Amino acid sequence: MQHYYTTLFEYISRMIALPEADQQSIRKSFHPVWVPKDTVIEKAGEVPGYHNFIVSGFMRNFHWDADGNEITTDLNDSPRFFTSYFHFMNRTVSEENLHCVTDCELLRISRDDVDVTAARSFTQKDYTIRILQEHLQKDKDRINDMANLTAEARYAKFVKANPNVIRHVPLKYIASYLGITQRHLSRLRNDGSTDTSTPK
């Protein structure tokens, strides 16, 4: 399980130096979990129980619209943190589902343990703020792209920024994330020169 923590330490270290005391605190509060493909680890209608760090694997965040269609609002390219952050921190019911698209290696921390570690950690507040800022910026960029870019431009940008997601996540989830139909996305792939090798 050592690689779980090594991956997390390297991820945090790109933002802030992580002292040994905080590394030990993380080892105690973040618990390694292996989750099989196609598992929903946080369900809509519940208060999220964990903040998840994805060591390996691919996850998505989705909800259902009024017609019962799945709307994918986030796709990961690990390693990264992945949760319904607002609801997790505020202990409120979320309408989002966290879905492991592939087998996933996760490190998970409970809401209570977040409070415990925050009281003794030198760096947790700093790196948590930076992670949240990155998440909010990604959401802002996606909203801007949906409003201002054509489907072709959104797809081209996504391919460039997320080659691993393109190769490992089924087409229907990518189409939903980009706000286009699966048929339209198939045409874009066939018309383009990029070999995406996306799962069906």
Report the candidate in 186, 188, 197, 177 with the shortest Cα–Cα distance to residue 75.
177
Distance between CA 116 and CA 121 in Å, rounded?
A: 9
Kindly state whether residue 173 falls inside one of the protein's structural domains: no
Q: Is the pLDDT higher at 78 or at 175? A: 175
The residue ranges of DSSP E strands in the chain, in sequence order, are 31-35, 39-42, 50-56, 59-64, 70-75, 80-82, 97-100, 104-110
Report the pLDDT averaged over residues 117-132: 87
The total domain count for the chain is: 1
Taking CA atoms, 197 is separated from 78, 112, 128, 155, 171, in Å, by 19, 42, 35, 14, 10
Partners of 50 in the β-ladder: 110
Report the pLDDT averaged over residues 30-41: 97
pTM summary value: 0.87
- Residues 41-55 have pLDDT tens digits of 999 999 999 999 999
Kindly state whether residue 174 falls inside one of the protein's structural domains: no
Structural domain range at position 25: 2-123
Structure confidence at residue 139 (pLDDT): 86
Report the pLDDT averaged over residues 62-88: 91
Kindly state whether residue 145 falls inside one of the protein's structural domains: no
Q: Is the pLDDT of residue 193 over 80?
A: no
Kindly state whether residue 194 falls inside one of the protein's structural domains: no
Q: Counting Cβ atoms within 10 Å, is residue 12 exposed (0-12), middle (13-18) or buried (19+)?
A: buried
Kindly state whether residue 130 falls inside one of the protein's structural domains: no
Structure confidence at residue 77 (pLDDT): 79
Kindly state whether residue 116 falls inside one of the protein's structural domains: yes
Question: Mean pLDDT, the chain, as a whole number?
Answer: 90
Structure confidence at residue 192 (pLDDT): 61
Partners of 64 in the β-ladder: 70
The CATH number covering residue 88 comes to: 2.60.120.10
